[in-house]
Each structure stands twice: as C-alpha cells, then as structure tokens.
Amino acid sequence: MKILAISKLSLPLVCLGLVLPLAAQKAIRKGDYVASVRQRPHELAGFLLHQDQKAFDAALGKPFHEEERENAHVRAYHVPGSKSNYLVAFFFASKDKDSVLNGKAVQLELTGPDSMDSGGFFGLRLVDTAEQAEKVLGEPSGIRHEKDENLDLWDYKESNYSLEFTADKKLYSIQISDQPVKDVPPLAGSQEARIFAQALQQHDWKQVMAIASGELECTIHNYAHRVQAGAASKQLTAPETGISKCLQKAAEAILALGPEMKGTEDALRIWEKGAPGSVTKFPKSCPLKEVVFVDEAGAFRVYEVTFR
C-alpha cells in the first residue's frame, strides 16, 4: 500500500482520569491487546482473513465449487483429512481494480459433520455441542431457524462471526468475516510488537496466528517473505520457511531492546487507500527498521516487518 504520511502517535492509558504508572500501563495494555485480537477471530482451519486466493489453492488444491457473487468470487475446498468437511472462502472482487482488498479472503466458512479443530476459533471444534459453544461465547444476540437446511443460525451482532447448529444441537458451521466492529480497536505500538516477538520466541502459535495479518510479510536483505505460499499456520510454524526464519530474527532483535523497548518510536501510518494503521520504528542501532500494524476484522495485526 502506498504511504501518504507518517505522524507521531501518543498511546497513553488513563484510568479514572489519572495517568497510570508505566508498569501498570504495560500490564493493562498487554491484557487489552491480547483480548482484542483473541475476541475478534480471523483464522479458520489454519487460514487467515486477507490471505490471497493462491494461498488457498496451494494448500487445498482445486475447489470443488465456484460462483460469482456481488463483490466476491466464492471458492469451496475440501478439507484434507475429512470425508465431508469443507472450507468456503469469499475473495473480494471489486469493480475498482485498485482496491487493496481485491483477491483477498474477506469471509471464511468452515462446515461439515466430522469432528475437527476449527483452528483459532476460541478452541471450539465442529460437532461440539451448543452448550459447549454457549459456555465459551455466551448467548447469541439472535437465533434463526433455516428451514431449507434444518439448521439453527446463531448470530453475534457485536462480533464478526456466526454459527450454525444441526437439529441435534451439534456445531455444523462457523463463519468469520472482515466486517467492521462497533468499538474502534486500540492502536498497536512497541509493546504490541514485543508481545508478538515473545509469542514467536515461545512458539505460542495460537498467539502468533491471532496477531499476524493475513497479508504478513517480513523483509530481510531486500527480499520480502510472504505468508501466501499456503495455509498461514504451516507457513508461520514450520522452521524451514523463509517467513518463519525472518520473523524469528525479528523477534530476537525486538526482545534485545528489553521490556522498555528503548529507542523505539510509535507513529500513525496513513496509506493512499485503506484504513490508517500504526508503525513502530526502531533505533539505528537495531537491525530491525520497523513493524507495521493494520486493522483486520476489528483488531490491529502485524502487517509488515522490515529489516534495514
């Protein structure tokens, strides 16, 4: 995305009108940030919203069904290891050829009767009971019976997901989308970059997947490694992939600055097209140049990691 401007960004936290001590600010910011990315899921079956169509094709092969809808090209894929489960991806297709979302997955649906880890969706599995889902997600904002399929649709209006249950109350389908959320997510900065680095170093892959953008790229030695060669979960967790190696080096550089993240500067990042993001710039003594965050599905995720 083309950058228009960069402006300094202040990220203070205030509680009851008082500025909190630095240590308390960090503790609260970490909790708020982790909650924001976890509560607004953007992963299903190891794939992320905003991944390219080629990433799905590379991992899942030729789709068994395709159709055109308004502003979307829909492709349905069989899920490996299951006889009946399938993943449907809606790829944005705007008449505006310059749209930054064209070709990106803006909605994902995981469906089927076989027990399966949803991958990143609150630890739920297909065929879990409605009771289990309600314990995790709370009561839906509305339930609608779909006569044609004999399914109950659970809607969560303040969130970016919905569920479908069979007549015997088993989870049959999960849908997530890149729709805007009511509450504006908190901007991310140096401490959020540190949280990402800690997750990478500790191999906390659930955290890494929650924080990583579906368009994530890591540039080192003037070469950009992207998360578009297949399922994001495999690209980020396999130690031999280029993007995995690049991110591990980035994590080392970030954590070397210590908890205070000395010398870093947080700023607002504005592009010609697309919503504003934020950027953390690193001191010249650090091999890392910057980490950029963008809003995906109502939470700021790591979009670009760049070495000098």
Cβ-Cβ contacts under 8 Å for 93 (sequence gap 6 or more)? 68, 71, 72, 73, 102, 103
Looking at residue 273, what is its pLDDT? 74
Looking at residue 30, what is its pLDDT? 64
Looking at residue 179, what is its pLDDT? 78
Q: How far apart are CA 32 and CA 152, in angstroms?
A: 32
pLDDT tens, residue by residue, 50-81: 999 999 999 999 999 999 998 899 999 999 99
Pair of tokens at residue 308: 């000098």
The torsion defined by the Cα of 94, 86, 126 and 141, in degrees rounded to 10, comes to 30
151 with 193, same domain: the answer is no
Looking at residue 35, what is its pLDDT? 83
Crossing angle (nearest 10°) for helices 242-255 and 190-201: 120
Q: Which of 145, 177, 209 is the last residue of a domain?
A: 177
User: Which residue, among 98, 74, 118, 120, has the nearest Cα to 297 in the 3D structure?
Assistant: 120
Q: Which of 148, 177, 206 is the last residue of a domain?
A: 177
216 with 291, same domain: the answer is yes
Which amino acid, one-letter code, is at 270? I
User: Which residue, among 255, 215, 252, has the nearest Cα to 235 in the 3D structure?
Assistant: 215
Q: Which of 177, 210, 243 is the last residue of a domain?
A: 177
Q: How far apart are CA 288 and CA 253, in angstroms?
A: 6
The structural domain count of the chain equals 2
Looking at residue 62, what is its pLDDT? 96
- Residue 225 CA, chain-centre distance (Å), reads 18
Q: What is the DSSP string of 80-103?
A: TT-SS-EEEEEEE--S-TT-TTTT
257 with 287, same domain: the answer is yes
How many CB atoms neighbour CB 168 within 10 A? Answer: 9
pTM: 0.87
Task: Decide: helix, strand or coil at residue 243.
Answer: helix
Looking at residue 33, what is its pLDDT? 86
CATH number at residue 155: 3.40.33.10
95 with 28, same domain: the answer is no
pLDDT tens, residue by residue, 101-120: 899 999 999 999 999 999 88
How many CB atoms neighbour CB 296 within 10 A? Answer: 26
229 with 169, same domain: the answer is no
How many CB atoms neighbour CB 58 within 10 A? Answer: 14
Looking at residue 101, what is its pLDDT? 86
47 with 172, same domain: the answer is yes
Q: For residue 244, give its domain range.
A: 3-39+182-307
144 with 193, same domain: the answer is no
196 with 126, same domain: the answer is no
161 with 232, same domain: the answer is no
Q: How far apart are CA 50 and CA 107, in angstroms?
A: 9
62 with 171, same domain: the answer is yes
Q: How far apart are CA 294 and CA 2, in angstroms?
A: 13
Give me the residues of the chain with pLDDT under 70, please: 1-31, 180-184
The per-residue pLDDT of the chain, averaged, comes to 88
30 with 54, same domain: the answer is no
268 with 285, same domain: the answer is yes
Pair of tokens at residue 307: 């070495």
Q: Would you give the DSSP letter of residue 33?
A: H
Looking at residue 10, what is its pLDDT? 38
